């Protein structure tokens, strides 16, 4: 079963050899753990979706674990990336 949800990435961790494990907060489903298979490979198409401070619309396959199938960036908060202090404050807010 697949579903679409809109939200923001809270945390990105390395998982296994070439995967990422995302903590994703969505409006509809709350906090989700999502595995992005093969995201650390050179030719990965999903690695562009694994960025903090981006509002995303993701397509997720649910099962034993949630897996990322695809998605699209809705809004990129570029003003956060221009200043180190803003990055630090935004990271602290996401950690809370």
- Measured between alpha carbons, how far is 96 from 86 in angstroms, rounded to an integer? 16
Which is more confident, 72 or 80? 72
- Encode pLDDT of 25-37 as tens digits: 998 899 999 999 9
* Amino acid 15: pLDDT: 92
Q: Where are the beta strands (DSSP E) in the chain?
A: 2-15, 19-26, 30-36, 54-61, 66-76
For position 7, what pLDDT does the model report? Answer: 93
pLDDT on residue 66: 94
In this prediction the pTM is 0.82
Residue labelled with tokens 């050179």: 42
């Amino acid at each position: 079963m697949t579903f679409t949800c809109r939200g923001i990435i809270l945390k990105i961790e390395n998982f296994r050899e070439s995967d990422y494990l995302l903590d994703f907060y969505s409006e509809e489903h709350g906090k989700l753990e999502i595995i992005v298979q093969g995201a650390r490979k050179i030719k990965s198409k999903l690695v562009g979706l694994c960025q903090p401070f981006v509002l995303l619309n993701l397509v997720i396959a649910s099962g034993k674990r949630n897996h990322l199938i695809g998605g699209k960036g809705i809004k990129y908060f570029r003003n956060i990336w221009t200043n180190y202090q803003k990055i630090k404050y935004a990271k602290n807010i996401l950690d809370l």
